[in-house]
Structure 1
């Protein structure tokens, strides 16, 4: 059982190693600092505790 766990761990580390060393800042996406949330309806309230839905909760969590 220990050999199986060791082989599984080694395989997982070999598979996930390229993701750990990937360069994440090559593109220009998201560099201007603006976050645009586009919904079909504008948020009603900017208080996350009184929000009634997803659009209100996500907009209020950014404040």
Structure 2
């Protein structure tokens, strides 16, 4: 991942729950304008998601 990316792991969270978290994060970022050199900017984010069943990782535990 690059410098402007991060990962958020949501154990025991299904797709619907992850969508709720993503929308909350997106809204929180949007409501926090940034000021740079006297100019105010509204920041937006793009969020992608993936789900994986627990048995996929079981051999790694």
Tell me if TM exceeds 0.5.
no
Higher relative contact order (CA 8 A, sep 6+): 2
More helix by share: 1
| Greater per-residue strand proportion | 2
| TM-score class normalised by the smaller sequence | 0.3 to 0.5
Normalising by structure 2, what TM-score? 0.34
TM-score by length of 1: 0.33
